[in-house]
Amino acid sequence: MTSFNVKWVIIASVISISLVAVSGQACVRVEVPMCKGLINYNFTRLPNKFGHTTQSEVYWALQQWWPFMDMGCSQNLRLLICGLYLPKCTTGSTQVQLPCRETCRRAKNRCSQEMQRQNLPWSSQFRCSQFLPKRSRRCVGPLKEKKKKKSRRRHVTCQRNHLPMCSGIGYRFGSLPNMFLQSNIREMKREMAQYQPLLDTNCSPHLKFFLCGVFMPFCLKQETSECEVPFVVPCREVCESVQTSCGQIFERQRGGLPWPGKFHCHRYPSRDYTRNPNDCSVSCVMPN
Ligand SMILES: *[C@@H]1O[C@H](CO)[C@@H](O)[C@H](O)[C@H]1NC(C)=O
């Protein structure tokens, strides 16, 4: 190597090292789909205490807890889990904030039984004593819990679908909870809003239909007079066409995150081509 080249190599490495140092301190937007827009802060900083350096790594670690976050056993469970893996970052502060001990305790009180029932004991990573108490003012405090009765899963059968994204898709009625056991409309609205930038790219004409049918499965009862099917999701074929058209754009928009597990197409029933479309035993629908 000539001395000229060596000099440039040295300069380039100094620049890249200082870039890493700076970006290591900058707050970045929370992007993982189970947390983005669903917790009361927007910025985090990696690496976290598990050594994850990208949100894709965090995504894979959080995926197993996603159903519990959606189940709604506690307002604080999502805050606890997201907060542990993607601690709150505040511009100008060198320290990130983890959830408070109280946040953890409320989540544990409400959710540990339900998890136990599904053979998942309260994980040792969620040990509440590891967290600072709220009075330290250096942690993310607890949210108020809803009354237990109210937080119980709401069942809705064939109600008007008022999700803002879902107007004009041809199906006006839906049922809840969805296949992820979500029934909190406000939370679903916020979760769906994550996909607005993807919708804005017009990557697929069926994206809106797909999202709406996933979050609030369609009810065919009110749409066609003969059928009484209250719960129908979009067909796998719609899912596949949406993923093919939008998957890479999603990845680019969200800093390399994989296509969310909720939208994995094997979850959705395949269209039965032999069946008469007016047959009432349909399990999935295609866009009109
Ligand atoms: C987080 O970002 C969203 C969308 O940009 C915004 O509506 C919301 O108010 C922000 N939340 C906080 C706590 O700053």
Q: pTM of the predicted model, to two decimals? A: 0.85
> What's the pLDDT tens digit per position in 197-242?
999 999 999 999 999 999 999 998 766 656 678 889 999 999 999 9
Cis amide bond preceding 217, omega within 30: no
For atom 2 of ligand 1, the residue with the nearest CA is 42
The residue extents of the domains of the chain are: 25-136, 157-285
* Ligand 1 site, residue 41, Cβ cutoff 6 A: yes
In the prediction, which pLDDT does 288 show? 79
In the prediction, which pLDDT does 263 show? 97
> Which ligand 1 atom minimizes the distance to the CA of 41?
13
In contact, 33 and 69? CB cutoff 8 Å: no
156 alpha carbon – ligand 1 mean position (Å): 29
Q: What's the CA dihedral at 107, 217, 262, 276 to 10 degrees? A: 150
In the prediction, which pLDDT does 220 show? 83
Of the listed ranges 45-59, 157-171, 238-252, the least confidently predicted one is 157-171
Cα distances (Å, whole numbers) of residue 200 to 8, 177, 207, 247, 280 = 42, 27, 10, 14, 34
Taking residues 119-140, report their average pLDDT: 95
Residue 188 has pLDDT above 50, yes or no: yes
What angle, rounded to 10 degrees, do the helices at 207-215 and 236-253 form? 100
For atom 10 of ligand 1, the residue with the nearest CA is 42
> What's the pLDDT tens digit per position in 6-35?
555 544 554 444 444 444 468 999 999 999
For atom 12 of ligand 1, the residue with the nearest CA is 41
Determine what percent of the chain is predicted with pLDDT higher than 70: 84
CATH number, domain 25-136: 1.10.2000.10
**Residue 165 burial (CB count, 10 A):** 20
Q: The tokens of 89 are what?
A: 């970052």
Cis amide bond preceding 177, omega within 30: yes
243 alpha carbon – ligand 1 mean position (Å): 27
Those residues whose C-beta lies under 8 Å from the C-beta of residue 103, and which sit 6 or more positions away, are 76, 79, 80, 83, 131, 134, 139, 140, 141, 142, 143
Do 25-136 and 157-285 fold alike per CATH? Answer: yes
In the prediction, which pLDDT does 23 show? 46
3-state helix, strand, coil in the chain (%, to 5): 45, 10, 45
* Ligand 1 site, residue 90, Cβ cutoff 6 A: no
> What's the pLDDT tens digit per position in 71-106?
889 989 999 999 999 999 998 888 999 999 999 999
Q: The tokens of 121 are what?
A: 């004991």
169 alpha carbon – ligand 1 mean position (Å): 27
Mean pLDDT, the chain, as a whole number?
88
More confident position, 279 or 157:
157
- 90-106 as b/e, with b when 16 or more CB fall inside 10 Å? eeeeeebbbbbbbbbbb
* Ligand 1 site, residue 40, Cβ cutoff 6 A: yes
Residue 38 has pLDDT above 50, yes or no: yes
In the prediction, which pLDDT does 229 show? 82
Class of domain 157-285: mainly alpha
> Which of 29, 40, 42, 86 should be mutated for ligand 1, with most atoms under 8 A from CB?
42
